[in-house]
Each structure stands twice: as C-alpha cells, then as structure tokens.
Structure 1
Amino acid sequence: MKNKLRCLIVDDEPLAANVLEKYILRLDHLTLVGKSQNAVEAFNILNAQAIDLMFLDIKMPQITGLEFLRSLRRPPAVIFTTAYRDFALEGFEMSAVDYLLKPISFERFLKAISKIVDSSSGQSANESASDSLNTLDREYIFVREDKRMKKVLLTDILFIESIKDYVKIITKSGPVMTYLKMNYLEEQLPDQLFLRAHKSYIINIQAIQAYGATDIEIEGTVIPIGRHYKQAVHRRLDELML
C-alpha cells in the first residue's frame, strides 16, 4: 500500500506493549509512532500527530480504555487488547475493529489487521473503518439492557426514540431500553438504512408504511418530522421514491 498505517499502543503492561510492538514491526504496511501507558499520554499523542490505528488496553489506571475511547470526538480505528473477556460485547458496541485477548498470538494479530487493511487497496484505517460502518456488512449492534449486553439485528429495528439520557429501540420483537446518547447511536448506524427524522427519533427507512409533510408512520406509530430535519428527510424520501 502507498502509505503505512500509523499505529499507537496504549497499554500499562510493558510486556504486552512490547509484544504488540514486535508484531507491528514485522508488517511493512504498519508503522509504530507512539507508545503510552495511560490515557493522558495517549491523548497528548493523538493531539500531536495523526494516528490511523490505536491498540487500546481496557483495564488501565485512572481511566479505562472504554472511558477513554468515549471521550474522543474523532477517534482512530481501535483494536482493544485485554486479558478480560467480560468487556468484549461492550467493546464491539463501541465499533471497535476487533477485540484481542491476551496473550495475543501473531496469527490472531494478523486476522485483526486484515479487517481494516487490504494491502492492495491503499486505504487508511480510518477510511476502512468508515466504509465498514457505512455498509450493511455490520448486521447488528450490542446494547446494554438490565446489566446484560443484548444483540439487536439492524433489520429488526423499526425506529428509535430518545427519552432523556436513554433510548428506546423499537424492534419487531419488542422494545429494548438502553442508556445511550442519541447522537452516538446515530453515528453507529448505516446511513443507507437509517434516517434521523427528529431530535428524538431515528427511523428505519425500510419500515416506513406512509409519510406526509409533517410525519412518518411505522407499524401504526406516527413519528413527527422535526422542523430542523424536514428538508433533509423529504429530500431523502423523495430520492427513494424515484
């Protein structure tokens, strides 16, 4: 590929970080530009230079890898590295490229890298990750409900309603209530299937049964079209009718 992927390792375990460094150095299309033992150091590196791919440990002092990733407005592609299986579902919920359990074999490392890099495509990790989110290759999301992670198929979602700090995901099999910000969830859903119709609603375009100037009907529920979303919503719906 034309440009090497610029990698950052964030891990407070020196031995684990050294293993990742050795793996990175073995691949021609990767280059290591930084190592940090905590989120503060990593934040400074991210602000100082461009990073395409971050290998992020979850259990770290002061702030966890998950908390750190949530704090970033425009994070690079992320591969979580940890000795704990318990965080896997939450990691994938945050759109991580992969989740590697320590000790990490080189074979497993290669498999993770292959998810974001095609050596003949010339794509950066950010481009690859973005393309992945904007296709239906991602068929589901995991959300937390009642202290458990629940798998929700994207095609089963009818619409999503924001209720203060929670969202109610209305699916074909019933509602799922979870603590999530609407804007964050909107970023995780593929644009060709979902549409923000109102500050409190995201709809599945394929589930629309009828619509008018001010509202959309899905499974008997009338969903208002927000004033600030009206132009974009009708432009999108008109395109679908062509």
Structure 2
Amino acid sequence: MKSLIVDDDPLMCDLLEHFCSKIDDISSVVTTTSGFESINLINSSTFDLILLDYNLPDITGEDILKIASPHTAVIMITANRNFAPDSYNYDQIVDFLVKPINFSRFFKAFQKAQAFHSRNQSQGHRLFIKDGNKLVKINLEEVYYFKSEANYISVVMEKKKILTLMTLKDLEVKLPDFFQRVHRSFIVNLNRITTIGNNLIEIGKDHIPLSQSYEKILYQKISLLN
C-alpha cells in the first residue's frame, strides 16, 4: 500500500513514518507538513492510505478529505476530538486516532485500512449503471470514455454506447484511478489513449478536447502509470 502522511508536526511525521516502516504491507511513504502540498500530491499521484492530521495551519483535514479519492483509506490522527462524530460522514475514514499514539493502536487502525483496501480491490473494475429500466454491469477497462450529455452520460466502448441518467460529478468519485477528467464534458480511460496533441486526445477513431486546466494533471497521471 502506498501511503501519504499529512501532519504539520515534523516529529509526528517521523513517528508515523517509523510506524509505517515496521509494516511490510506498506510499500512506500510520502510525508508533508503542508495541507496545500498534500492536495497537489493527492491530485498528481495515487495513494492507498492517507494518515491525516485534522488541524493544519493552512487548511483543515476535512478540506483534504473532500478531494481525496473515496477508494483511499484514511486514518485521522489528531488531538481534536470534536471532529470524531463528523468523521462518520466520510466512508473512507477507517479509524480515528487521538494523539499521542503508540504502535499497537496504530497497527489496529492499519488493519482496518487494509481491510478497506481489500474490499475495494475485490470489487474489481466494474460498475452498474441504469440503462432504461434495467441495471447493466459494465467492465470499466472496456470503456473508452464518458461524455456528458446534459443530465445524461454516454458510456462509450469499442462496439457500443450506453446512455445513462447521471452527472459526471457523481460518476467521477466512483471511478478507479486510470480514469481522468480532461474536459468539463469528458472523462477518459488513460489506458485507451492513442495520442495527445493540439489540445486533443485520440481514443479509437474519436477525438476528445483537452482543456488547459486538466492538461498538467493528465500528464502527471500518465507518467505515474508508465
């Protein structure tokens, strides 16, 4: 599991990094003392686990939660007990640790994060969408891209297209990390891209517009997949 530690206390970052080093199932650890930097890291990389302080000098842990992937397990680590009841509003929060902490308690929280991660993995890359009066299971790896059509979304695959009543905003949080929004009306499967150039993305025979606001994160994500 790839992990991100976000805490404005460098000593706490060191302690959490030490705890992570004692767990074989944690493959890598990135640390930051800045909330804003953590947002850049989350937007440009993929993490399986975030160890998140609530009280940061520049932004709150709750603000970071709003942009974190719902598929990423989060362990809140903070001295602020007031947030504990609200933490249950976020499905990805698997545990809430109050400082100071020890390794035994930390490891129990990690086991919950591991179970959360395993559940997400076992679901596979599939999604049920509504097609008329029935639910249709689609294999997300076969999807070329999603296109917004007013209040509907076109799910475009190699040999078929499905129109479903949904918004891109609602869909985006349900997708795995190999999907990326590239335009206000398009989310593409990064593994299906043929070429990128002249503000256009080619997938199959289709050309999809690439907005400047999404260009940087698109290239960052592609470099991580390679």
Q: Please report the TM-score for the alignment, with normalisation by the length of structure 1.
A: 0.47
Based on CA coordinates, which of the two structures has the bigger radius of gyration? 1
Q: Please report the TM-score for the alignment, with normalisation by the length of structure 2.
A: 0.50
